[in-house]
Amino acid sequence: MYERFYNLRERPFSLSPDPDYLYPSRVHTEALNYLRYGIEGHAGFVVITGEIGSGKTTLLQAALRGLDKRTSVARLVNTMLDARELIEAVMLDFGLEPQPGASKPHLLRDLARFLVEQRSAGRLALLIIDEAQNLGLSALEEVRMLSNLETEKSKLIQIVLVGQPNLHDVLERPELEQLRQRVTVRYHLRPLDANETAAYINHRLNKASIGAPVAFPLEATELIGRYSEGLPRKINVIADAVLLFGYGEDKHTIDAALVRDVLTELEATGVIVPPASMTAAPAAHPAKPMGVASAAAAAATGVVEPVAAGAPVAPPAPAPIDRELAAREATLAARERELAERQRILTEQYRLLKARETQAAAAAAAPAAWPPKRTPSATTPAAPPTARVAPVRAERVIHQPLRPANGFWARVRRVMVGPGKPLFED
């Protein structure tokens, strides 16, 4: 396909676990050293965990390649087995033939004889169980019982458990306390960071190149690293598609624009699912209603499936960025309301001040009232604030004649003197 176009001996991003292409990152180097120490040092159980596609199988292949010929290896990759099937699978992988219809004690006796013979011949028996998280409690307990096969000096069989991160949860169960106490080496494969992703991609290209190797620029490897989350298997899928698309478009150099086109195509076809941190915000147009189960599945996988009309609609969980924006908008709205209230108060105070100034100016321009108001002095007590002095009005006095009295002496006077006359006449 694109091998000759890019001067490559073979496809550098094949999904097969080829130990020749193992990139010696810090994480994988440490894991390989721990694995070799557990095997060569005859330690207890060795447990290696990692996410799906983190390179556990390639690491095992590299470790097995480094073993000498004095090691007998049994490797189980299908772990959907019960306790008896596990013993038979171990015997078959060591090259033994379980007797048809033999009981479990007879199977264990034949396996123990084989292990003693290997130790007598100076050979090490190594059992590697891949995908160990799928083993049931009875099968794991049977694995622990196999580790009891030992001599006075050392164990007859060395056991390595390899699995996904939930293998730790399985081993933490109370029923497996005895097995957990025998684990002496543990290591978890972490994803590659941005620099390790760039080095991983170009390391594989250099390994497969037969001429001037093609290189991925830093911007392109950063895009691949974000979409792959640093998992080697996802990196291989994306990088292989980039080379294929570049060959189809006759591009001898790889750039970020080509990687973006490849990521868009892989996402549209469902080959890869972008991580939750890169999921775009929902579009403005109304989306189809989703049921509760569909909403949960969409949140887990990033794939939205339509549901029948009338199904209960679950509100979508807001993304962290949306929640932050909503909080900022609420804060800005509260501040705007506070500023508007302050502006209203200032406007009201200004209006009252102008009204007072207008009243003062009108009072200064009006003529003074007569008589002027007296200002109470220190010696003169001021009138109570509630007392009011009625204004004195100048009224015309009309003198009216005195009416004659009707008393006893008045009648005597009129008889003796006569009627009296007014002293003043108008």
**Architecture label for domain 26-189:** 3-Layer(aba) Sandwich (3.40)
DSSP state, 8?
Answer: B
CATH assignment, 194-275: 1.10.8.60
3-state secondary structure (DSSP) of residue 23: coil
As a whole number of angstroms, the distance between CA 179 and CA 147 comes to 9
Could you read off the pLDDT tens digit of each residue along the chain, which spans 426 residues? 788 899 999 999 998 888 889 998 899 999 999 998 888 887 779 999 999 999 999 999 999 888 888 899 999 988 898 889 999 999 999 999 988 888 999 999 999 999 999 988 989 899 999 999 999 999 999 999 998 887 767 788 999 999 999 999 999 999 999 999 999 899 999 999 999 999 999 999 999 999 888 899 999 999 999 999 999 999 999 999 999 999 999 999 999 999 999 999 998 888 888 887 666 544 444 444 444 334 443 443 343 333 333 344 444 454 555 666 667 677 767 767 776 777 777 777 777 777 788 887 777 776 555 555 554 444 444 444 444 444 444 444 444 444 555 555 566 566 565 555 554 444
Instruction: Sketch the domain layout of the chain as residue ranges.
Output: 26-189, 194-275
3-state secondary structure (DSSP) of residue 125: strand
Q: Quote the pTM value.
A: 0.63
Residue 234, judged by CB atoms within 10 A of its CB (0-12, 13-18, 19+), counts as buried
Q: Which of 142, 119, 143, 118 is nearest to 129 (CA)?
A: 143
Secondary element (H or E) of residue 331: helix 320-365
Q: Are strands 45-50 and 71-76 parallel, antiparallel or unpaired?
A: unpaired
